[in-house]
Chains A and B, each alone.
Chain A
Amino acid sequence: MAEQELTTYKKPEETKDEHTRPGRTYVPAVDICETTDSLWLRADMPGVDENSVAVDVANNVLSIEGWVSVKEYENLQPVYTEYNIGNYSRRFTLSNEIDTSRITAKMVNGVLALELPKAEKAKPRRITVSAN
């Protein structure tokens, strides 16, 4: 069973519109936290480097995708398996409070880190009260 799960499929990409990709796709585990200025997102994508990851924002939907190379697993006979190899994909709906033009992303040690800055209007503000 283990061998079957680790088998890689080579299927050519047929159409540009459908975005089909060969192999399995997994949902990466994420941490999302918020500070007064931004939202921070960290996604675990082990085996993905900065050249094989895509972060897209369209219609307020943030989608992150990462592709792993299965080349390193060729000619290896699995004896014991706990994780499966596959690409990563996950989508999040953003609120209008995020300034999508200023989103920054970096990839460090297999973790995708995104900073989603809040728009100026969404930031908490304190109004100073003056006397008279």
Chain B
Amino acid sequence: MALVRFSRPFDPINALLNLQQEFDRVFDNPRGFDLGLSGRGTFPPMNVFSDADGYTVRMEIPGVAPENVAIEANGRTLTVSGTRETKAPEGASFHRRERSGADFSRSLQLPADLSLEHIEASCKHGMLTIRIPKKAEAKPRQMTVKAA
């Protein structure tokens, strides 16, 4: 039996509000990103970073040669697909098989203010880095104020 410690008197209103918050957290997309079915265990795992000029998407794709990665932008959807080399030597029997995936494909939907024409991608030591800049009109601009 699970033991639950109450630090304060049971408050049904607060419990409902907490539930509401949990639902909001699940259904809210992180800042306009729609990652589809995702989470831990999906190959390749992905991190998304932002800065003032745009977004950086990093994926861990060990064992994938740069020439075997394809990145496709279609509307607001970015698809990364490729083939992972997991070939075993001839006539080998496995003792342990923890590495996942052979062919993979993963899509994510991007916020509307990104310019998909200027995507840059690089792949080094099994790390794929995709740089997606913001559209020029979406960047914050500074105006100079002139004294009249």
Contacts and interface: CB of A to CB of B under 8 A. Distances in A.
A35 B91 contact: yes
Contacts of A42: 63, 99
B101 to A, nearest CB: 10
Given A31-B94, A34-B93, A80 B33 contact: yes
Contacts of B125: 46-49, 107, 109-110
> For chain A, which range describes its interface: under 10, 10 to 19, 20 to 34, or 35 or more residues?
20 to 34
B35 A80 contact: yes
A32 B96 contact: yes
A48 B96 CA distance: 22
A78 B48 contact: yes
B65 A40 contact: no
A83 B99 contact: no
Contacts of A83: 45-47, 60
10 contacts: A29-B98, A30-B96, A35-B92, A47-B127, A83-B60, A108-B63, A109-B66, A109-B125, A110-B62, A110-B127
Interface of B: 30-31, 33, 35, 38-40, 42, 45-51, 55-56, 60-66, 86, 88-100, 125-127, 129
Given A31-B96, A82-B39, 6 more contacts: A44-B63, A79-B48, A109-B66, A109-B126, A110-B63, A111-B62
